[in-house]
Structure 1
Amino acid sequence: MEVRGAFSSDGGKSHRELTPLRLIRGVVCLLVLLLTAFMTLVYCGFVSAVLLRLFSIHHSRKVTSFFFGTWLALWPFLFEKINKTKVIFAGEIVPARERVLLIANHRTEVDWMYLWDLALRKGCLGCIRYVLKSSLMKLPVFGWGFHILEFISVERKWEVDESNMHQMLSSFTDPRDPLWLALFPEGTDFTEQKCIRSRAYAAEHGLPILNNVLLPKTKGFYACMEDLRGSLDAVYDVTIGYKPRCPSLLDNVFGVNPSEVHVHVRRIALGEIPTSEEEVSAWLTNIFQLKDQLLSDFYLQGHFPHQGTEGDLSTVKCLVNLVALMMLISTFTFLTIFSSAWFKVYVSLVCCYLSSATYFNVRPKPLL
């Protein structure tokens, strides 16, 4: 029987009401995020991820990670400083700047955003990459960013995804390149209907009955381990819980929900993970069985064990990052609107290139 306390995804009231002030503030924040994303992509992303890549993939990734780490830091600033959402870390303290494969439960459409809060604290924000459904690559502006940051898009059909996934994974094997590759093995976000279907499948095939997570799909995880095992430092097992309920994207933007995000982290040494596909499948299913129990305890107790593994973000550092980024974006915006017509031509050509490169999933190769 499923355990649900006051902190369920479908019960309880939002922490805050959507007041006119929060509405206006949320719209302003969203517009700032869109403008800064567009200008960062056009002026910084194109240069670092396209032009510089013609000479060195390694240096291209380092520069791209710097620029986009600076931009992505706006989101934790929005969550934790503007919206006053408490992000509470528990479990183990993990080292900074490791190359890792990160597996997480998928409670809602915005789980992946809260992984940025952990990555920022570990100095790896700009190098976080996701395995995500291909429809998200079609989002205006943000789809370009997903392409430039080398996210792995999947159709969620293994016969279609296998070759593309191995091709992308093989490009991440250079141990000099910082990497946080995030994977949601459930393949979709959690809902009651999906959970019912997952439990029925588990009962039919003699698998564990899970109430707070879905049965994981193991082929993608096995492919990641097969291609990257020799270049990774560890696997991070991350479990996310929300109070008072799971948020949507607009909840996040307007600051009405959640009041608290709890993130439990466990570092798994590569030697603990089996190598055969059958054993890996059983191992991952067991990991999600442990997640299920961890979430059951969270709904009863309101927290994960061993809280307080990470401190709060520095307000000063967040503000310095914001001011520096806004000065840079203001310069780019001025040049685009008020300066020479050549800047408008440049922006138009870059937009055409990014649209086509994202649609056809092409990246330049080094000349040498």
Structure 2
Amino acid sequence: MEARGLAGGVVFGLLLFFTSFFGSIFLLAPLLPITFIHPKWCRRLMDTMIFLWKLYAVALYENLYHVKVVITGHPIPSHQDGSALIVMNHRTRMDWMFLFSYQVRYGSLSRYIISLKEILKQVPGGGWAMQCSSFIFLNRRWEKDRAAIDRGLDYFSRLNFRPQILLFPEGTDLTPDTCARSKIFAEKNQLPVYQYVLHPRTTGFVHFVQRMKEAKMLDSVLDITIAYPKSCAQNEGDILIGKFPEEIHFDVKQYMPSELPCESQDLRDWCCARWSDKDKWLQDYYQKQHFYDADQGNNNDNVNENITQILFYFAMIFWTLFEVFVVYILVLSPVVRWYCVTCSILFVVLGKKWGIECLLAESVKISSDIFK
């Protein structure tokens, strides 16, 4: 890796860490008390701050590394205010971040919620912001995971919030080790052996669909297939050495709730069928370097990229000024330094003992009792 790539990767990582860490302390922590007075205002204000950070991340990697984004299929128009369950193959550990590029063009980056491993909530800065964003944290113990899903969906429902939730049914990213384990599982259970995807874990998917339907929160299921035609960033280490993908391709299929089966076993079969299709699509994709429906053209042509770039520039200016401001007040004021230490301890304690996302969910009930 050339020095420019290594330097650029380190700078990218430091900028995201700095902005997420101090953004949590100066922009999110002061909003937490508001949630017990007016949860909706708190949710909107936090979403705005976190939206700007997500925008900053995608602006950096698209502009700094000139990552090309290609979107085919049937993405939801950005003006629609719908709630969706997004299911996507998990090619790398960074897929969740690269999906920002799709969300900023067609989805709703401010309402983009990720279900992810519980351990990530403890990451300083980024993990704190994830908790404030009410991401859904899972740890592969179903009883606990079901409670986390139900708590998150109940919180969104009470606020009339329309989330777009990303779920990786495979549970982990595609690596030689996970491929080998998936192959053993397939052979043991007399299932087809996949090359480009892992066999999905369907319990979470079924529960999400059924609970979102019950809450009238499921406007569509988006089946997204992500592919990297040249190179990919498999993990955070690749990001830090500047190994970004040259291109990211998304193929999107939209399913209405009426198109989904109702029974649990039928939903499991439906999910497994989609993953079987994905493996075939990806096999064909890597031979032709485009998805089967590429004759429809790149849907980016339907997006006003000028507006997208204006948003990118705004986010970069906002966070650059924020970084300068933070350094300035940290140097000048011991009180601000103590404030940062206090907030850091508070985030760690709240995250470990309860979870900020749990407190936000509980605040809706408390606020309703106080002001009803």
What TM-score results when the alignment is normalised by the length of structure 2? 0.87
Matched residue, 2:180: 196
CA contact (8 A) 1:39 1:333 kept: no
Matched residue, 2:141: 157
Matched residue, 2:204: 220
Matched residue, 1:363: 359
Q: Structure 1 residue aligned with 2:22, among 39, 43, 46?
A: 39
CA distance in 2, matches of 1:317, 1:143: 24
User: Could you say if the C-alpha distance between residues 269 and 194 of structure 1 is closer, same or farther in structure 2, counting changes exceeding 3 Å?
Assistant: same
Q: Alpha-carbon deviation of 1:206?
A: 4.0
CA distance in 2, matches of 1:287, 1:56: 41
2:271 matches 1:284 = yes
CA distance in 2, matches of 1:23, 1:246: 15
Amino acid at match of 1:20: A
Q: Alpha-carbon deviation of 1:174?
A: 4.2
2:37 matches 1:55 = yes
Amino acid at match of 1:315: Q
- Deviations along 1:213-255, whole A, 9 cap, x unmatched? 1111111111111221211211111111112233233433544
Q: Which moved more, 1:120-129 or 1:176-185?
A: 120-129
5+ residue gaps, structure 2, are: none
Q: Structure 2 residue aligned with 1:172, among 137, 156, 161?
A: 156
- Deviations along 1:186-231, whole A, 9 cap, x unmatched? 0111123322332332343343432211111111111111221211
Amino acid at match of 2:108: C
Amino acid at match of 2:47: S
Matched residue, 1:14: none
Q: Which moved more, 1:149-158 or 1:314-323?
A: 314-323
| Map 1:1-368 → 2, pairs under 5 A | 18-48=1-31, 50-96=32-78, 97-122=81-106, 124-174=108-158, 176-229=160-213, 230-248=216-234, 249-304=236-291, 305-306=293-294, 307-310=297-300, 311=303, 312=305, 314-339=308-333, 341-360=334-353, 361=355, 362-364=358-360, 365=363, 366-367=366-367, 368=370
Q: Alpha-carbon deviation of 1:328?
A: 3.0
CA distance in 2, matches of 1:232, 1:218: 17
User: Could you say if the C-alpha distance between residues 194 and 32 of structure 1 is closer, same or farther in structure 2, counting changes exceeding 3 Å?
Assistant: closer
Amino acid at match of 2:59: F
CA distance in 2, matches of 1:175, 1:270: 22
Amino acid at match of 2:21: F
CA contact (8 A) 2:183 2:194 kept: yes
CA contact (8 A) 2:114 2:167 kept: yes
Q: Which moved more, 1:343-352 or 1:284-293?
A: 343-352
CA distance in 2, matches of 1:29, 1:247: 14
SS at match of 1:363: helix
CA contact (8 A) 2:86 2:224 kept: yes
CA distance in 1, matches of 2:210, 2:39: 22
Matched residue, 1:7: none
Q: Alpha-carbon deviation of 1:291?
A: 1.0
CA distance in 2, matches of 1:253, 1:80: 15
Amino acid at match of 2:201: K
SS at match of 2:228: strand
Matched pairs, number:
349
User: Could you say if the C-alpha distance between residues 138 and 199 of structure 1 is closer, same or farther in structure 2, counting changes exceeding 3 Å?
Assistant: same
CA distance in 2, matches of 1:57, 1:330: 31
CA distance in 1, matches of 2:107, 2:199: 32
CA distance in 2, matches of 1:137, 1:281: 29
CA distance in 1, matches of 2:37, 2:206: 32
SS at match of 1:263: strand
User: Could you say if the C-alpha distance between residues 247 and 276 of structure 1 is closer, same or farther in structure 2, counting changes exceeding 3 Å?
Assistant: same
CA contact (8 A) 1:187 1:217 kept: yes
CA contact (8 A) 1:64 1:126 kept: no
Instruction: Pick the structure with more helix per residue.
Output: 2
Provide the aligned C-alpha RMSD in A: 2.1
CA contact (8 A) 2:86 2:221 kept: yes
Amino acid at match of 2:198: L
Amino acid at match of 2:26: Y
Q: Alpha-carbon deviation of 1:123?
A: 5.8
CA contact (8 A) 1:336 1:347 kept: no
User: Could you say if the C-alpha distance between residues 180 and 253 of structure 1 is closer, same or farther in structure 2, counting changes exceeding 3 Å?
Assistant: farther
CA distance in 1, matches of 2:237, 2:92: 12
CA contact (8 A) 2:156 2:162 kept: no
CA distance in 2, matches of 1:215, 1:123: 27
5+ residue gaps, structure 1, are: 1-17
CA contact (8 A) 2:75 2:106 kept: no
CA distance in 2, matches of 1:252, 1:83: 11
- Deviations along 1:71-120, whole A, 9 cap, x unmatched? 11122112211101111111113122421111100011111111111111
Q: In percent, how many aligned pairs have the same letter?
A: 25
